[in-house]
Amino acid sequence: MVKISSTSASRKKALSKKLVKAVKRATKLSYAPYSKIAVGAGLYCTNGKIYTGVNIENSSYSLTICAERTALFKAISEGEKNFHLLLVYSPQIDFITPCGACLQVLSEFASDIVVVTMDRKENFKFYPIKELMTKPFSIR
C-alpha cells in the first residue's frame, strides 16, 4: 500500500506518477506461467491510499485470481470501503480491461469506480464501470 499526500494543484500529477510506478512495480511480481500475460492493478482509494495487485495463475485455471480482484480484496481486508479509480496495466497487452468476473466484483464493492487502462507508453483510457458492466448481477 502507498499513501499519496494531498497537495491541491500537483496532486493529480503526483497521483499519476506514484500510481503508475506502483502498478508497474507490482506487475513484475505477477505469476503467469500459463498465459504469459502479466497484469498489475492499482486501486486508488478516496483517502489517498493505493493498493496494488497482480494476477496469480494456477494450473487449475478456475483457481486463478486476477490483479484487479487481488488489489480490491487487499483493500477490503484492510477496512477500505471508498474507492476512486482502478488502474490496470499489462506490458503484453495495451489497454487491457478487467474480465467479467472482476467487473462483477468491482460493481458490488465500487459501483461508481472509474477503470483506467494504460499502454506501454503510459497513454490512458478512462471507463466508468457502468460503461464496462452495464447489467451486473445483484440480489438487492
**pLDDT at residue 129, rounded to an integer:** 97
Of how many residues is the chain composed? Answer: 140
**pLDDT at residue 65, rounded to an integer:** 98
Give the domain range for residue 30.
2-126
Name which of 106, 101, 37, 31 is nearest 75 in CA terms.
Answer: 106
Residue 105 lies in a domain: yes
CA distances from 109 to 85, 98, 105 (A): 12, 15, 7
Residue 137 lies in a domain: no
Residue 31 lies in a domain: yes
- Asked if pLDDT for residue 60 goes beyond 90, the answer is yes
3-state DSSP call for residue 62? helix
Residue 42 CB coordination number (10 Å): 29
Residue 96 lies in a domain: yes
Residue 133 lies in a domain: no
Q: What is the CATH number of the domain that holds 72?
A: 3.40.140.10
**Stated pTM of the model:** 0.89
Active-site amino acid positions = 68
What confidence tens digit (pLDDT) does each residue in 95-121 have? 999 999 999 999 999 999 999 999 999
